[in-house]
Amino acid sequence: MSGVDLLLRLRVPVVAAPMFLVSGPDLVLAACRAGIVGAFPTPNARPIDVLEQWMRRITEGLARAGETQDPATLGPWCANLVTHSSNTRLPDDLQLLSRYRPPLVVTALGSPKPALKRVHDYGGRVIADVTSLTLARKAVAAGADGLACICSGAGGHTGSLSPFAFVSAVREFFDGLVIVGGGISDGWGVAGAIAAGADLVYMGTRFVATAESMADPGYKKMLVDCGSEDIVVSAGLTGTPASWLKPSLRANGIDPDNMPSAPPRSYDSNDVGKPNRWRDIWAAGQGVGAIKAVEPVAAVVDRLCAEYRDAGRRFARRTQESLHHAN
Ligand SMILES: Cc1cc2nc3c(=O)[nH]c(=O)nc-3n(C[C@H](O)[C@H](O)[C@H](O)COP(=O)(O)O)c2cc1C
């Protein structure tokens, strides 16, 4: 699938980003049916038989959806693999990729290299999740087809660069698929990212508070109730900077104003710590303020489309005005 095919098929250039303990087959299918990319991290499906069941559900669900809606309006699905050496299941995950063929594969916490041949052999594309320019350059040198540039303001493990600085710098050495994520929760933000040079936006936090996500109902409600002032970024829970909801820290006996010092980094998703970060302590990005209700994915995507179009009209009007004044 070429980059242009992929982009033309989408109603709005958004990926419902992969989220630990949150994204499952229901969220992926709802996102694809709504015309955006639906993604999930493979560690959410354990043991490996469950991953096979999920991949079968997704591929069969999409085939069924294609009987009642134009298949060209279905977004592609995406599997997110941990390629770090701590993932002892990687060979099994890779085998299932060959069998179920997700058009997009995002590699995280390691090099994209282990996935490249396998995914290219069936015509898929490999995107490397990166939080810095150093990692972006390494991923491009390793042969990644795309980059998911995680910026400041992201939910979960966050980056520290501004999306504008990150995308501009990446575009100096890479003309492949660029996804940008971090604090973008509405269609105006999506338009800004596309105007800045990205091809797609990674949107995580916004999709936690949907009917189809696997998140705890209390987590979804907290997202509706919180704004960006309720977020704290700290490496104190996983050893890597991550963006947490202050009320959920307090509920677990942690003072957000005195976060613990960073423990050794842990990328092992079996090791969720005590109290369980991700399961009991909830993450969100700076775009949390845009969440006003828990809604079905389709309703969220409808709104993103309307906002994206409104942003396009605004941008066209502003550039026309500038041209007018310049002449
Ligand atoms: C609760 C939560 C869990 C996440 N888990 C993962 C994960 O397992 N793998 C991954 O690559 N990214 C993960 N992310 C990051 C998202 O894929 C995405 O980069 C981020 O949510 C984008 O920022 P936003 O939340 O501000 O939209 C997670 C994010 C959240 C909020």
pLDDT value of residue 107 = 97
Residue 277 in 3-state DSSP?
strand
How large is the C-alpha radius of gyration of the chain? 19
CA of 153 to the centre of ligand 1 (A): 11
Q: Does residue 106 contact residue 78 with C-beta atoms inside 8 Å?
A: yes
Segment 191-218 mean pLDDT:
98
Superfamily name and number for 3-217+286-326: Aldolase class I (3.20.20.70)
pLDDT value of residue 2 = 43
**Ligand 1 pocket, mutate which of 20, 127, 266 (most atoms under 8 A from CB):** 20
pLDDT digits (tens, 9 = 90+) for 107-154: 998 999 999 999 999 999 999 999 999 999 999 999 999 999 999 999
Choice among 21-25, 54-58, 267-271 with the minimum mean pLDDT: 267-271
CA of 18 to the centre of ligand 1 (A): 6
Name the DSSP letter for residue 22.
T
| pTM attached to this predicted model | 0.95
pLDDT band at 222 (very low <50, low <70, confident <90, very high): very high
Residue 239 pLDDT > 60, yes or no? Answer: yes
Bond prior to 47 in cis (omega within 30° of 0): yes
Integer Cα distance of 177 and 236 in angstroms: 33
Choice among 63-77, 193-207, 253-267, 310-324 with the minimum mean pLDDT: 253-267
Cβ of 219 closer than 6 Å to ligand 1, yes or no, is no
The closest residue, in CA terms, to atom 8 on ligand 1 is 20
CA of 248 to the centre of ligand 1 (A): 17
Q: Does residue 252 contact residue 244 with C-beta atoms inside 8 Å?
A: no
The closest residue, in CA terms, to atom 18 on ligand 1 is 204
Q: Which DSSP helix (H) or strand (E) runs through 265?
A: none
Choice among 148-152, 212-216, 229-233, 257-261 with the minimum mean pLDDT: 257-261
Cβ of 110 closer than 6 Å to ligand 1, yes or no, is no
Q: Does residue 103 contact residue 124 with C-beta atoms inside 8 Å?
A: yes
Segment 241-253 mean pLDDT:
96
39: which residues sit within 8 A by CB, 6+ positions away?
15, 16, 17, 18, 23, 28, 31, 77, 78, 79, 80, 104, 106
Residue 274 pLDDT > 70, yes or no? Answer: no
Cβ of 231 closer than 6 Å to ligand 1, yes or no, is no
pLDDT band at 270 (very low <50, low <70, confident <90, very high): low
CA of 267 to the centre of ligand 1 (A): 14
Q: Give the amino acid at 315.
A: F
Residue 26 pLDDT > 90, yes or no? Answer: yes
Segment 44-62 mean pLDDT:
97
Average pLDDT, the chain: 94
Cβ of 205 closer than 6 Å to ligand 1, yes or no, is yes
pLDDT value of residue 1 = 41
Cβ of 41 closer than 6 Å to ligand 1, yes or no, is yes
Residue 308 pLDDT > 50, yes or no? Answer: yes
pLDDT band at 283 (very low <50, low <70, confident <90, very high): very high
Cβ of 37 closer than 6 Å to ligand 1, yes or no, is no
Cβ of 289 closer than 6 Å to ligand 1, yes or no, is no
Cβ of 203 closer than 6 Å to ligand 1, yes or no, is yes
Cβ of 202 closer than 6 Å to ligand 1, yes or no, is yes
CB-side neighbour CA atoms (13 Å) of 38: 29
The closest alpha carbon to 296, from 17, 12, 30, belongs to 30
Q: What is the DSSP string of 110-176?
A: S-SHHHHHHHHHTT-EEEEEESSHHHHHHHHHHT-SEEEEE-TT-SEE---S-HHHHHHHHHTT--S
pLDDT value of residue 312 = 97
Segment 257-268 mean pLDDT:
80
Q: Which DSSP helix (H) or strand (E) runs through 108?
A: strand 104-108
Segment 225-245 mean pLDDT:
95
CA of 181 to the centre of ligand 1 (A): 9
